[in-house]
């Protein structure tokens, strides 16, 4: 009897110890889950899990918050989830996120329109797991909200490629665009022309009316360009008072006509002494075999010829 009682007490003690261990494991799991949740909140990260047997997707609370969904929407069908992220199916997310021939998929960056119609930007990672014979079992995904970083990068890019005074593209950006267009034109029948113009006697404007007034003239010049140039054109402030225009899909004749319109627009800018602004224009068209240097050299020579011919003129060639 005494032995039976001792065994019972020992069994109860073991049960209590096992219960204590389970409670301890549960607390540790709850702590880990709480810590992971806070880390996800701080990192603006949410997760999802796809069951390949049922095609149900389970969304974490953090992801629900990011997407502006109710807790009741924590489980969606795969098609519903994809339609939510990419309603127009322009991103091919379904293909990108579960390319089963690749276990670890490359990150996908895409936009998402929130309930308030403001755009968000997500970086999306996913990883697929298969059984021993290669059948897909589960794909897990991680979505990070990179809207702040994306916006900051865009702002930095804008500052790096924009002329502070006029708001036009700066020389670096225009040169990049011209390089890219030449590369495309070398392997296609792409037609484009280049216009380079320089404001006449601009130093006298600064000397006579001050640099602040000269800045106003440069801003007014930029506004004239915006008014007369087509939306397909890329243009910017190329130097102090020099401006470069790339007219995509426009012939030499069309671009020369646009140059004359800009010339007219500049003539409507009147100085305090009653004189008007003018500029000298060179216009040329890309020819097969042109390099970046040869194209710019030719248009610069045409602009110089316009200067030498008495200024306030457009020379095309």
Backbone angles phi, psi at 23, to 5 degrees: -65, -40
Catalytic (active site) residue 32: no
**List 16, 186, 234, 241, catalytic entry:** 241
- Is the model's pLDDT at 245 over the cut of 70? yes
Average pLDDT over the chain, rounded to whole? 87
- Quote the longest CA-to-CA distance of the chain: 125
pTM score: 0.69
| Lowest mean pLDDT, pick from 64-68, 126-130, 141-145 | 126-130
Backbone angles phi, psi at 204, to 5 degrees: -65, -35
- Is the model's pLDDT at 8 over the cut of 70? no
Residues 261/283, Cβ–Cβ less than 8 Å = no
Q: Where do the domains of the chain lie, and which CATH numbers do they carry?
A: 2-151 (3.30.450.20), 162-316 (3.30.70.270)
Residue with tokens 């440069």: 218
For 39-60, write each residue's pLDDT tens digit: 556 658 899 999 999 999 999 9
- Is the model's pLDDT at 204 over the cut of 70? yes
For 135-157, write each residue's pLDDT tens digit: 888 888 889 999 998 889 889 99
Query: Which residues of 44-177 form beta strands (DSSP E)?
Result: 45-51, 56-59, 75-77, 104-113, 119-130, 136-145
């Amino acid at each position: 009897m005494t032995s039976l009682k001792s065994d019972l007490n020992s069994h109860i003690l073991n049960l209590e110890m096992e219960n204590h261990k389970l409670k301890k494991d549960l607390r540790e799991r709850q702590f880990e889950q709480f810590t992971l949740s806070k880390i996800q909140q701080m990192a603006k990260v949410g997760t999802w899990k796809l069951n390949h047997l049922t095609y149900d997707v389970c969304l974490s609370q953090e992801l629900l918050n990011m997407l502006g969904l109710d807790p009741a929407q924590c489980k969606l069908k795969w098609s519903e989830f994809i339609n939510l992220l990419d309603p127009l199916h322009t991103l091919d997310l379904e293909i990108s996120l579960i390319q089963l021939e690749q276990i670890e998929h490359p990150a996908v960056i895409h936009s998402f329109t929130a309930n308030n119609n403001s755009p968000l930007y997500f970086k999306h990672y996913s990883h697929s797991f298969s059984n021993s014979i290669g059948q897909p079992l589960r794909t897990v995904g991680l979505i990070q909200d990179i809207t702040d970083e994306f916006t900051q990068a865009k702002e930095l890019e804008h500052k790096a490629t924009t002329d502070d005074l006029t708001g036009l593209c700066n020389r670096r950006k225009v040169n990049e665009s011209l390089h890219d267009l030449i590369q495309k034109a070398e392997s296609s029948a792409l037609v484009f022309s280049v216009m380079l113009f320089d404001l006449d006697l601009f130093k006298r404007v600064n000397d006579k009316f001050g640099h602040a007034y000269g800045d106003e003239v440069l801003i007014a010049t930029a506004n004239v360009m915006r008014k007369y140039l087509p939306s397909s054109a890329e243009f910017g402030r190329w130097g102090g008072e020099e401006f470069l225009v790339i007219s995509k899909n426009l012939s030499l004749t069309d671009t020369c006509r646009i140059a004359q319109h800009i010339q007219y627009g500049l003539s409507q800018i009147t100085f305090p002494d009653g004189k008007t602004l003018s500029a000298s224009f060179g216009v040329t068209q890309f020819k097969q075999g042109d390099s970046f240097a040869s194209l710019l050299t030719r248009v610069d020579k045409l602009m110089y010829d316009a200067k030498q011919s008495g200024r306030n003129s457009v020379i095309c060639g």
